[in-house]
A and B are shown apart, each in its own frame.
Chain A
């Protein structure tokens, strides 16, 4: 059986679909969005990072790296990304969890057992969400969805849409809600900001729409990223496309989030959006008005933290 590589399980999540949910974040993504909130979810390989606040400076990690990829000085622990193979010997040696390995491998059955533990809290609305990274890139995702449905759990898949149509089609029979990202309608812009064009995403949206016209529930999500996706033209174009497919239940404009600044630092990545402020309330109101003017669907709303400053 194919193992699933995931980052983390978040229980009692209130942000990944309806009701209370347990969300599993898959590792590895087909896009590399410049604003990604979960940079550790992009690469599929194991990644080590160091959390200074947990470190007691005991030095247990210093000598264990087989590739000499780890060093320590007065500023803390440094990982040489060229030498690190993700073997995680240093993580095992760390007594405080200051060194963490990003990535866990588990059989779908094993993961399923963990994900259904909050069944009692799901009620009518809630369930399990597969997020990421891109969950549908991994074969185990379909098996996991099948197991969850067999347990009677409502399932949601949060996808960027950049997968083979067959991969999407295989998952849909076991999916109740598809959280589908539409980021940029301009293909060149899409390539510029995410590393890939949007042709396949838009094609798969058609497949998703067909499914949604049957039994599925389709939520569209658009990250509102200052300077990247937040033009009125882009929002209008996305809205028109949603209107054209005619079967989305909800469209969420998800405000840019800067809480991940530390994650980039810990992975030694320079982040384009390091100093980008939150979207202002006024700007979001304007974009919401644009979105609503397209009559994309009944339920159009904004989520995430906004700044009150103009």
Chain B
């Protein structure tokens, strides 16, 4: 029996006083006494630069702040006098030295009351350590006339999208540190350094390895400082129990991360310090620096501790402290608002999933993690991603469904192994790296950031570095190589000159059939990719030349062997992921052109082009036909979905043709639109699918909002087909190795009782078979959301996720809020 029940916002539960306090303290936000705001440091030279905007080139909403950030971080910076002969050192050594000096000796070590894990402040904005000549050359390339900054702005302003060499977005080799400690990592580096020829030692390779050796000392020295702090605090501690805790922490920190971890507590402490220093090293608060298969590699330590008699709840208490540390990443720019800029950090971890020969890897620790997520939720970091596959146990699905139903769907993303692994194997074949990705290890893939699939510990796939708007190619095909509208500079409103570089694909009015139009579209799609690859080359080369991350490089397999930084292509697997944005809008536009102009002759090409240029003003009937009569992707309509697959194949083929020359990284395809589909909707002109300028574009692999009139299963089937479906032998195909973000909203009515939750499980089992690589489920009814809009004070903790773009509902803009509400309704237009 059912009542029309309003779901409330999920509350945390089963928290100890300690965790309750830490959690509550965190949510006090910018009123806190203690925070983890960026600490800025300069070498004090008159030419010094502190803020490197390269990392932010993929965040268009902060473009207008970049000049301010550049100046204000420098002004706020404290000086660290560099030692004699500093600028004669290699750049990796300079950077490694300065970061280490800052985090070990200049940033205070602190411990919040009751905290069981050490490692507090870690957000750093430190001197780039460039010499005067380097600064001049670098700034010329970035800020000069025709520099990267301007070219990037123009790329975005003209609706192409964005790209840039961005930090984070990888899974460091944490298990190695747990097993060998930094002493092991360092010994290996020493061996490799000693093996270099004298010429190499004197050159770039020697400089890189010496920088990495310095990097290895950083966690060891910092742990010693924290050990001393714990000792001091223990001396002054009146409470006996807390005193024992502090002394225990002191002993643990005296050992790890320098030495191998022996139990769960040591492993978790080692993991935290190792991880947080990646964020320190990159001067970037954790965007997509992910943990990988954490319930797999921490399991031996967990089991050891359980054997030694650790209380299970104490193990969870440690994890909950770990949770809080991950969240303090958001303090980086805390003065700019609730979550600072940007909002989606994504220190992701995977749970469960497939092992060798299709075995299911759910273990005791998986359940521990799920409990911790449930008890801590709602909270943003770290972000869980549960891997499902055909043999996932029923009990796991039960737990997943229960958690989805009590937490508005927000607690985690779901990743689907069969489809994801098919993509990784496709990548191995396409990029000729079968020796690194194959049937024997592909199940050990994991996700980065939100859902971007990579291998662990040796893979920098630059998963959000390139974000082109695919629908730009339709616009250029309709314009015969010209923009359809006049684009303006977002900052000053100045008009850009009419485009000249795009191929002249001919006047579409003269095209005999849809195939002619499609050929023009493909030529333009290649142009969009070519233009983006050229722009990206400049920013990745700039990073390779000027922004080494020697500490991080110690944690990425391949860097030591090649004596190359991971910003220079040092990782064994080096890819650049192209996240195609506006996929469904592109497919639907092509479907509409085929339907309106060629199949049904509803209008001429001339009329259609004029209608788009007029933003449908005066063409409302045609717009309604485009919206409602033309076929759409996302309805499980085989004919429409066939065109979606064709676009997917042709586009991914184009992507695989490109490589960077400076870092020798292969481009690979994926679909994740972060929040770009919103912003670019205001830039790009009207589209043939009936969308007016200012309306949102489609998100990642999702159908256009509202187009999925056959419900969630039809939607999911279309997504699976667009990714490649299954071959004649029933083998799962996946053209997108990175994976594709898919968000659906389900009505709370599916969660009402046990019987209906069984139905949701059936949906997930079906999705494993038919759907995409990753799924985010939101369980929200429009009424709750509207109430949250009007009474934000009552919904401080209401989490929503779109693509793993993960935010507190009340902290996002009104437009996106409305978008989420519209999404819930599943109405036709």
Contacts and interface: CB of A to CB of B under 8 A. Distances in A.
B714 interface: yes
A303 B625 contact: no
Interface string B693-731: 000000000000000001111100100000000000000
Contacts of A12: 711-713, 763
Given A11-B713, A20-B763, A125 B621 contact: no
Given A12-B712, A60-B621, A121 B766 contact: yes
Given A12-B713, A95-B628, A301 B1 contact: yes
Contacts of B828: 54, 97
A121 B713 contact: yes
B769 interface: yes
B137 interface: no
A126 B545 CA distance: 59
A56 B624 contact: yes
A14 interface: yes
Given A11-B710, A14-B756, A126 B762 contact: yes
Contacts of A301: 1
Contacts of B749: 14
Given A95-B624, A95-B629, A288 B711 contact: no
Interface in A96-149: 96-97, 117-118, 120-123, 125-126
A100 B671 CA distance: 36
Contacts of A54: 828-829
A1 interface: no
Given A118-B713, A120-B769, A96 B628 contact: yes
Contacts of B93: none
A120 B419 CA distance: 15
Contacts, number: 91
A121 B762 contact: yes
Interface string A288-307: 10000000000001111110
Contact of B3 (A120, A123, A125, A306): A306
B620 A58 contact: yes
Contacts of B756: 14
Contact of B624 (A58, A118, A281): A58
B2 interface: yes
B628 A97 contact: yes
A301 B767 CA distance: 30
The main secondary structure of chain A at its interface with chain B is: mixed
A10 B629 CA distance: 20
A105 B636 CA distance: 20
Contacts of A120: 765-766, 769-770
B3 to A, nearest CB: 6
Which of A60, A120, A284 counts the most chain B CB atoms within 10 A?
A120
Given A97-B628, A120-B770, A123-B762, A306 B620 contact: no
Interface string B601-627: 000000000000000000011101101
Q: Is the interface of B mostly helix, strand, loop or mixed?
A: helix
A70 B829 CA distance: 24
Contacts of A69: none
A288 B1 contact: yes
Interface string B276-305: 000000000000000000000000000000
B4 interface: yes
Nearest to A97: B628
B717 A117 contact: yes
B299 to A, nearest CB: 31
A310 interface: no
B3 A281 contact: yes
Given A11-B714, A14-B756, A284-B1, A95 B625 contact: yes
B759 interface: yes
Most chain A Cβ neighbours within 10 Å, of B711, B759, B763: B759
B467 to A, nearest CB: 32
B765 A123 contact: yes
B826 to A, nearest CB: 11
Interface string A265-300: 000000000000000010011001000000000000
B758 interface: yes
Contacts of B713: 11-12, 20, 117-118, 121
Given A12-B712, A281-B3, A121 B763 contact: yes
Contacts of A20: 713, 759, 762-763, 766
Tell me which of A60, A95, A281, A306 has the highest count of chain B C-beta atoms within 10 A of its own C-beta.
Answer: A95
B750 interface: yes
A89 B488 CA distance: 46
Interface residues of B, number: 33
A226 interface: no
A19 interface: yes
A14 B759 contact: yes
A308 interface: yes
B759 A19 contact: yes
A10 B523 CA distance: 40
Contacts of B628: 95-97
Contacts of A14: 749-750, 756, 759
Contacts of B636: 117
A19 B767 CA distance: 15
A12 B829 CA distance: 21
Contacts of A281: 1, 3
A106 to B, nearest CB: 15
Contacts of B762: 19-20, 121-123, 125-126
A303 B763 contact: no
A308 B766 contact: no
Interface string B144-185: 000000000000000000000000000000000000000000
A264 B190 CA distance: 82
A117 B718 CA distance: 11
Contacts of A304: 2
Contacts of B714: 11, 117-118
A254 B93 CA distance: 74
A104 to B, nearest CB: 14
A9 to B, nearest CB: 8
Contacts of A121: 713, 762-763, 765-767, 770
A58 B628 CA distance: 14
Contacts of A126: 759, 762
Interface string A170-211: 000000000000000000000000000000000000000000
B825 to A, nearest CB: 12
Interface string B623-645: 01101110000001000000000
Contacts of A60: 621
B392 to A, nearest CB: 13
B617 to A, nearest CB: 13
Contacts of A117: 636, 713-714, 717
Contacts of B769: 120
Nearest to B626: A95
Interface string B752-789: 00001011001101110110000000000000000000
A117 B720 CA distance: 12
Nearest to A54: B828
Interface in B15-37: none
B800 to A, nearest CB: 22
Given A19-B758, A121-B765, A306-B2, 14 more contacts: A11-B711, A14-B749, A14-B750, A54-B829, A95-B621, A95-B622, A118-B713, A121-B713, A122-B766, A123-B766, A125-B762, A126-B762, A281-B1, A284-B1
27 contacts: A11-B711, A12-B712, A14-B756, A14-B759, A20-B759, A56-B621, A56-B624, A58-B620, A60-B621, A96-B628, A96-B829, A97-B628, A97-B828, A117-B636, A117-B713, A117-B714, A120-B765, A121-B765, A121-B767, A126-B759, A126-B762, A281-B1, A284-B1, A303-B1, A303-B2, A306-B1, A306-B2
Please provide the 9 A-B residue pairs with the shortest distance between their CB atoms, ordered closest to farther. Answer: A121-B766, A95-B624, A120-B769, A120-B766, A302-B1, A123-B762, A95-B625, A96-B624, A120-B770
Interface of A: 9-12, 14, 19-20, 54, 56, 58, 60, 95-97, 117-118, 120-123, 125-126, 281, 284-285, 288, 301-306, 308
